[in-house]
Amino acid sequence: MADVGYTSSPAAKEYEAQLGDYFALLKPRVMSLVVFTALVGLLAAPTPVHPVIGFASILFVAIGAGASGALNMWWDADIDAIMRRTSKRPIPDGRIQPGEALNLGAALSGLSIMMLALTANFLAAGLLAFTIFFYAVIYSMWLKRWTPQNIVIGGAAGAFPPVIGWAIATGSLSIEAWLMFALIFMWTPPHFWALALFMKSDYDDAGVPMLTVTHGRKKTRVHIIVYTVLLAVLAVGTGFTAIGGPIYFAAAVVLNALFLKGAVDIWRRDEDTAIADEYRVEKKFFRLSLWYLFAHFGVILLEAALRPFGLGGW
């Protein structure tokens, strides 16, 4: 177990955890993306859902996402304490004990799965259970510390929410749900590899086999552009499916042109230039990647909202 031998700071014994500390344990920024993409999956589905059922279902998906975050922080407490980006998280900062995070994550996992099954259907609940298991066990406990493909394979955990949303609405799965899954899955590697480039030695210090550590920064830049090209083909092509339409297609062309340009800019740089300007291009690409995903799912949502009026779709 990752936190065997791990101890929080001495101040932890004197610190009384606040509500905000437990909320931070749930990774609220990640949770916001999960909620949004699950909501898009639900609303883009062809089957209408009663607002109360929809709200409750998305709430339980959010709780499940928070449970995954708590379990991840419990397991990764040792390496979180080493990395500058994560050293102020509740466990390494001594605000919450590892056992508390484990208990909270386990309790919220059970609650969210059970309640989603009762509120929506067993397919959606099963997908949520698998997502929590995949993130907490397959990714956090195995892939993250074992292979430089950790982000590539592990990206599946973050890609399931729109599929869950679709299952909530329809009780089934379809190609449209898996297209939304694929958008997030293909977006995840360039998004995180850009972060790894400008986080410099964090992953080296923590012994996490990120691609920048195992294959070097030059090859990481090549991987970013390869995945970005594949992502662009997928994203633009989605415009011709049932969840796309002319508005989505136009937005996808613009967004992917910008994203491709950013990837090319990263690919053409050497490490000395990046160090000299403090990774300005890499940080810009990372910020763009956040807007990129929200924008694509936002336009999918817009197409779905216009469709009943005969305005969405082709």
227-283 pLDDT tens trace: 999 999 999 999 999 999 999 999 999 999 999 999 999 999 999 999 999 999 999
Find, among 240, 227, 225, 207, the residue nearest to 314 by Cα.
240
Residues 6+ apart with CB under 8 A from 24: 89, 90
pLDDT at position 280: 96
pLDDT single digits (tens) 191-203: 999 999 998 678 8
Q: How far apart are CA 68 and CA 276, in angstroms?
A: 38
- 160-171 pLDDT, tens digit per residue, is 999 999 999 999
CA distance 221 to 28: 29
From 198, 193, 196, select the one nearest 227 (Cα to Cα): 193
Q: pLDDT tens-digit profile of 27-79?
A: 999 999 999 999 999 999 999 999 999 999 999 999 999 999 999 999 999 99
Tokens encoding 222:
């090549």
Mean pLDDT computed over every residue of the chain: 93
Q: Report whether pLDDT(133) > 80.
A: yes
8 A C-beta contact, residue 167 and residue 123 = yes
3-state secondary structure of 261: helix
* Whether pLDDT at 218 is above 70: yes
